[in-house]
Chains A and B, each alone.
Chain A
């Protein structure tokens, strides 16, 4: 499965900088920060699905998945918005007759949203490694906590 932009939800502070950076670089935002009751935030962008439902439902074959890349042919698009409905994450958008989808800022070293994220919540990763990455990070945190002879919140009074 190709790379995609993921978010560490415990780090997102709902500042919307990723949306604005994407808008600046790509004319319209292809990442969306959903704020839940003012108490938590979830950034979502295209998951770069291996079997993209958006392409699968396209009646006019305007969306085609070839060589790990989704191609879009505006000539064949009827504007029916089935792709928008099919995307389980709500990240396919049809604007002005064009299906817009995150292309990970082709030509840039890292996507603009990842580069700009003030809290370091966004990162680029391959889905296969995602679970392992999280497990490694969590394990390192536990190691740090255990390995410290004077863990946080303990000080010998002078």
Chain B
């Protein structure tokens, strides 16, 4: 569709091969129960009875918090909404989604500074930016269509800065590439702010009229002079000054960030520092001017908006806030909702390991490969009384399940999805699901009935009607409205409201309308290389695969181009260890070990290793150290040692 405002008819490699995945013979077609003799095909009726009986059993024996629900950011808004409704009506807030592993720190960091943890501007706005500062995002590989907007801006003369420890196709587009040491983002951001404040480049009027907290920041910045920051980050001080001046002086400027910022034990502080930088320069609330956290999956934003989060109800009412709970109780016609926040995705696994969670219900997620420290995850799953996995393929996590429910994929069902730029779009089914696979929504309603929950089975359009009441920002979202054109951008509070592509134009979503400038300090990552584990291992994505790989590793043309787990190593490091391109390497961290093929490249600096997480093995190495506010794991930094196989 060349007229689509986001991709303009283009597709990334995964988009081009999606039919190979959807039509793959491995698709799950029937409900399966694990028996002593392996998997046994059962009828849907029996499968739902079994799931409901096991959940009720845990509920009666060990209380509601012995249940946990891990939802999917690949499922629709309606499905996520009903999923968390089931969990909460059963009396637990143990419901979460994989946003915990990618953008939980955006919710906390942007939430406390701007009032809303979401992208402030649409992607197409980047074409109007005079300066684009990219930090911890490799959009050329992970969100390829974003490149066309950045290139459009460059054609108009925009200055592009890319801060990344690696040289990536995104840094090929940069006018200034800052190659920082992993885990030193706050130092860089504070260093840039130090330059901006000391050279008087900050926006006095914006800071005075729209923000609070500047003087505390000014104090905190004193220690971050360019020379000090250069020593911490490894970036020449002249480049720090150049970046600061270009960003502050631009008429319109955008910050683009992603998991290089969020997936750290300082994730919330990293995001806060990005917000501080934008706020002191007044770079928020106009076309081409804002903060753009790029989300990974098709419905990460939506799954969070729907309240598939341990600490938030639909629409971000805080769990524990009696007013938010009251609203929901009226809508759901129930007397009580649990008042204490539930366990997050990572905490669920930990609690399962300790035997506190008995029954886990996982939809469209593969924690064995996507969570840090795989060996602990496997132990925890084995420790469960009952594991239900609802997916389109037999994932490595599904192998641990007691019951498997086959689901329809995105093209085989209807519902709404909220993209990274808050654009809510309606999807119509184009294909039939294979075998007896059913839409997730249908499965959830079937299960709710078996659980004796008092809500009737409805179509996605009717569920959306309930959502428009529960989530104020979705007030004007209607199926028929969305089907015209290309969806609606929230907040869209009423049926006549056109939607809001740009946030914070007049005031911020904080209680008093002022943004908060909050000083943050650079801290070393939870683990740093030492004599025993001398390399710094960082993880990320490659253009040819998608997330934990359960889908993209089933595309034969993608697999042909990127067939196996590899590790990038700088040629200078390889030389001293007599490692050649293509050698099998043995990698080890304090958590586990894995094998990978060496790829010699100057894309990584000396002392740094990079591995994609699309293949089993990578997350056997990563650590479970969490950001204290967002509970996001530090996937980006582990101390590692290697030897030739």
Contact = CB atoms under 8 A, between A and B. Distances in A.
A64 interface: no
Q: How large is the interface on B (under 10, 10 to 19, 20 to 34, 35 or more residues)?
A: 35 or more
B157 A23 contact: no
Q: How large is the interface on A (under 10, 10 to 19, 20 to 34, 35 or more residues)?
A: 35 or more
A13 B544 contact: no
A70 interface: no
B157 A21 contact: no
A15 B201 contact: no
Nearest to B155: A141
Interface in B8-23: 9-13, 15-17, 19
Nearest to A119: B147
B308 to A, nearest CB: 29
Interface stretch (B166-174, B418-426, B444-452): B166-174
Interface stretch (A46-54, A97-105, A145-153): A145-153
A151 B249 CA distance: 10
Interface string B188-221: 0000000000001101111000000000000000
B437 interface: no
A77 to B, nearest CB: 25
Given A16-B544, A24-B17, A151 B157 contact: yes
B17 A118 contact: no
A17 B12 contact: yes
A152 B10 contact: no
Given A15-B141, A17-B144, A155-B251, A116 B159 contact: no
A39 B155 contact: no
B147 A116 contact: no
A13, A20, A38, A145 — most chain B CB neighbours (10 Å): A13
Contacts of A39: 167, 172, 602-603
A23 B250 CA distance: 43
Interface string A63-86: 000000000000000000000000
Contacts of B156: 144, 152
B7 interface: yes
B561 A152 contact: no
B543 A16 contact: yes
Contact of B144 (A23, A118, A141, A155): A118
Contact of B251 (A41, A120, A141, A150): A150
A38 B544 contact: no
A95 interface: no
A111 B69 CA distance: 46
Contacts of A154: 249, 251
B16 A118 contact: no
Contacts of A4: none
A23 B151 CA distance: 26
Given A21-B11, A150-B251, A152-B130, A116 B173 contact: no
Contacts of A155: 248-251
Contacts of B130: 152-153
B611 interface: no
Given A15-B140, A118-B10, A144-B156, A153 B147 contact: no
B460 interface: no
Contacts of A20: 13, 16-17, 557-558
A141 to B, nearest CB: 6
B597 interface: no
A148 B11 contact: no
A44 interface: no
A106 interface: no
A157 interface: yes
A23 B557 contact: yes
A119 B8 CA distance: 10
Contacts of A24: 16-17, 19, 557
A154 B130 CA distance: 9
B10 A116 contact: yes
B16 to A, nearest CB: 4
B640 interface: no
Interface string B11-37: 111011101000000000000000000
Interface in B243-289: 245-246, 248-251, 282
A37 interface: yes
Contacts of A145: 157
B603 A38 contact: yes
Interface string B139-180: 011001101100100011111000000010110110000000
Contacts of B557: 20, 23-24
B147 A118 contact: yes
Nearest to A158: B205
A11 B12 contact: no
Nearest to B143: A118
B11 A153 contact: no
B487 to A, nearest CB: 20
A37 B603 CA distance: 9
A115 interface: yes
Contacts of B12: 15, 17, 118
Contacts of B48: none
A117 interface: yes
A14 interface: yes
B148 A119 contact: yes
B543 to A, nearest CB: 5
A115 to B, nearest CB: 6
A19 B16 CA distance: 9
A9 to B, nearest CB: 10
B9, B200, B206 — most chain A CB neighbours (10 Å): B9
A11 to B, nearest CB: 5
Given A37-B602, A141-B155, A13 B16 contact: no
Contact of B250 (A38, A148, A153): A153
The 6 A-B pairs with the shortest beta carbon distances in the complex, nearest first, are A118-B144, A13-B140, A20-B16, A119-B147, A152-B130, A13-B169
Given A15-B141, A20-B558, 8 more contacts: A13-B543, A17-B11, A119-B147, A119-B148, A141-B155, A152-B130, A152-B131, A152-B250
Interface of B: 2, 7, 9-13, 15-17, 19, 130-131, 140-141, 144-145, 147-148, 151, 155-159, 167, 169-170, 172-173, 200-201, 203-206, 245-246, 248-251, 282, 543-544, 557-558, 561, 601-603
22 contacts: A14-B543, A15-B140, A17-B13, A17-B16, A17-B144, A24-B557, A39-B167, A39-B172, A39-B603, A116-B9, A116-B11, A118-B10, A118-B145, A141-B155, A144-B157, A151-B157, A154-B249, A155-B250, A157-B200, A157-B203, A158-B203, A158-B282
